[in-house]
Amino acid sequence: MDIGNMLREARQARGLSLEQVEEETKIRRKYLEALEEEAFDVLPGRVYVRGFLRNYARFLGLNAEALVARFEEMLPLEEIPPVTQPLPGSEKKLRLSLPFGRIVYVVTGLVLAVLLLWGAGWVAGLTRDTAYDVVSQDKPAGTHGELSPGNADHTQNQDASSPTPASTGTDNRTPEGVHLVLNVTDETCWMRVVVDGKTMFTGEVAANQSKSFQAREHIWVKLGNAGVVKVRVNGRDLGVLGDRGQVVSREFSASTQG
């Protein structure tokens, strides 16, 4: 029997309407209808089909894993072979431009080498001439480190028994940024993670696996099966962000820290 017919007959046998199933499973009605009609292209992607199909089947008391396996047999993933042949005319262009390209690379390398040597010498001289000025301006007398020439004699004449200032405790500061840990407890979950505006991970994470991310300012995350992912932000346990099969998007920033 087909997947759609099994789901529909099981639902009707229990005397349930699509609205009632939607209320209980939190799966939208149009997705439930798509599963029963086997219109899998209506759902956002394969990971959502597997997640919704598994949850719907469990709700109806069916063998969820068997139905997911049946779906994989019906719509197997297509393997796309890598392109190994060069584009027409690319070898000819490469042969024609190679001598000129070598000259450009050599000249560019020489210019960069000269600039690096000159810049290194200039920076070394500037650093040597201004080191004491920077130390005397930025460091007050009596702190750890080198003493400025102006207060060396005064420091040596101070009473050796003078008390040492108490520590202010500022060394135990909380690390800046956002540290995010995503732990998949069971099943699988598709997720996408964007760190400081750059996509760092997109894919499916299996059960009992976790992903960790560090950002300077903010992390945006989208979970395809939020009910099976425990979230921890900067050491704070937020638990799960939604129900099983539910798609949840959330952003964490350094200012809010979750």
What CATH number has the domain bearing residue 70?
1.10.260.40
In a domain, 138, yes or no: no
User: How many Å apart are CA 228 and CA 124, to the nearest integer?
Assistant: 56
In a domain, 120, yes or no: no
In a domain, 189, yes or no: yes
Query: Which among 223, 194, 188 has a CA at the least distance from the CA of 209?
Result: 188
In a domain, 159, yes or no: no
CB count within 10 Å of CB 184 equals 21
Query: Which among 158, 154, 152, 180 has a CA at the least distance from the CA of 241?
Result: 180
Note down the domain range covering 183: 178-253
- CB burial readout 72-98, b (16+ within 10 A) else e: eeeeeeeeeeeeeeeeeeeeeeeeeee
- What are 234-247's pLDDT values in tens digits? 999 999 999 998 99
pTM (predicted TM-score):
0.37
Q: Considering 74, 90, 117, which residue would you say is the last residue of a domain?
A: 74
User: How many Å apart are CA 213 and CA 70, to the nearest integer?
Assistant: 35
Q: What is the pLDDT along the chain (258 residues), one digit of tens a residue?
A: 689 899 999 999 999 999 999 999 999 999 999 999 999 899 988 999 999 999 999 999 999 899 899 898 888 765 434 444 445 555 555 454 445 556 766 778 888 887 887 776 655 555 454 444 444 444 444 444 444 444 444 444 444 444 444 444 444 444 579 999 999 998 899 999 999 999 999 999 999 999 999 999 999 999 998 999 999 999 999 999 999 989 999 999 987 654
3-state DSSP of 151-203? HHHHHHCCCCCCCCCCCCCCCCCCCCCEEEEEEECCCEEEEEEEECCEEEEEE
Report the pLDDT value the prediction gives residue 144, as an integer from 0 to 100.
42
In a domain, 199, yes or no: yes
In a domain, 33, yes or no: yes
- Residue 205 belongs to what H/E stretch? strand 198-206
Q: Considering 74, 101, 128, which residue would you say is the last residue of a domain?
A: 74
In a domain, 112, yes or no: no
CB count within 10 Å of CB 27 equals 24
- What are 131-162's pLDDT values in tens digits? 444 444 444 444 444 444 444 444 444 444 44
In a domain, 40, yes or no: yes
> What is the domain count for the chain?
2
Residue 218: strand, helix, or coil: strand
Q: Considering 74, 102, 123, which residue would you say is the last residue of a domain?
A: 74
